[in-house]
Amino acid sequence: MSVILGIDIGGSGIKGAPVDTLSGKLLTERHRIPTPEGARPDGVKDVVAELVRHFGHQGPVGVTFPGIVQHGRTLSAANVDKGWIGLDADALFTEATGRDVTLINDADAAGLAEARFGAGAGVSGVVMVLTFGTGIGSALIHDGVLVPNTELGHLWLKGDKHAETWASDRARERDDLNWKAWAKRASTYLQHLELLFSPDLFIIGGGISKKADKWREHIHLTRSEFVPAALQNEAGIVGAAMVAEQRAGGRRAEEAPSPVEGGAA
Ligand code: BGC
């Protein structure tokens, strides 16, 4: 069993738990600390360090971020403080926690976890995971391999609006839509994605996945299948741990003596 601490940074809460990366199961209850006002890097960094201390965790840590993450830098901040843009957040968290931290976009983490352990387990081909919450996050996975940072919540839809401004769960609340009216918007968005990517399966996640009985019958697609996410609010934590485990595995392989040096010849 390989145990990695997964931490999921969200707009209202930062949650963590140790994960068995072989089974994708959390080993304890999640611990949640409210996101500090404004979600500025310094405040968030302190909460991440507090979670690591809370679990007394020694090994690598995986952390999700609700924006673009490329080579350890956070490059966008749609729903958090703009101070994240261009920041070496990997280094910030690594220094604050004293652990080897791996950072990943929140929807990418949820996507990896759903594809391996959740609603996409055993599905081959193209799986597209969408998280509907404050924004819309996306993960594109082909035969278990992730194409990171697809950011399809920012696809322009309906004039000059980003899809997430019009079809997220926050838009549903803001515009006081009933589930049928929201599902009509979500269907328009999903049909556009269907045209662009032809996924074999859509997995619909985020906060709304708990209420699938309210929207499921109102979503209409042309050719793809869709299912509600299975891991719900654990998916980000599990995916963060998976990606930290992958990186730690890569490092171990690099450090191992090569077969030739090891005297195989
Ligand atoms: C961000 C994405 C994120 C999504 C869900 C969007 O606004 O641009 O990176 O995955 O919200 O948090």
What's the average model confidence in pLDDT over 181-195? 97
Residue 60, pLDDT score: 96
80-137 pLDDT per residue, tens? 999 999 999 999 999 999 999 999 999 999 999 999 999 999 999 999 999 999 999 9
CB of 164 closer than 6 angstroms to any ligand 1 atom: yes
The token duo for 203 is 């997995």
Ligand 1, atom 11: closest residue by C-alpha: 135
Ligand 1: centre distance to CA 256 (Å): 37
Mention the CATH class of domain 3-104.
Answer: alpha beta
User: Do 152 and 186 form a contact (C-beta atoms < 8 A)?
Assistant: no
Supply the pTM of this predicted model: 0.94
Residue 260, pLDDT score: 57
User: Do 194 and 221 form a contact (C-beta atoms < 8 A)?
Assistant: yes
Which residues does residue 73 pair with via DSSP β-bridges, in sequence order? 70
CB of 8 closer than 6 angstroms to any ligand 1 atom: no
Q: Which of 249, 250, 234, 243 is nearest to 103 (CA)?
A: 243
* All structural domains of the chain with their residue ranges: 3-104, 119-230
Task: Report the CATH fold assignment for 119-230.
Answer: Nucleotidyltransferase; domain 5 (3.30.420)
80, 136, 140, best to mutate for ligand 1 pocket (most atoms within 8 Å of CB):
136
SS3 of residue 175 by DSSP: coil
Ligand 1, atom 2: closest residue by C-alpha: 67
> Is a pLDDT exceeding 60 seen at residue 175?
yes
40-84 pLDDT per residue, tens? 999 999 999 999 999 998 999 999 999 999 999 999 998 899 999
Q: Is 119-230 the same fold as 3-104?
A: yes
Ligand 1, atom 12: closest residue by C-alpha: 66
CB of 114 closer than 6 angstroms to any ligand 1 atom: no
User: Do 5 and 52 form a contact (C-beta atoms < 8 A)?
Assistant: yes
218-227 pLDDT per residue, tens? 999 999 999 9
Q: Which atom of ligand 1 is least distant from the CA of 149?
A: 9
Sign of dihedral through CA atoms 154, 155, 159, 165? negative
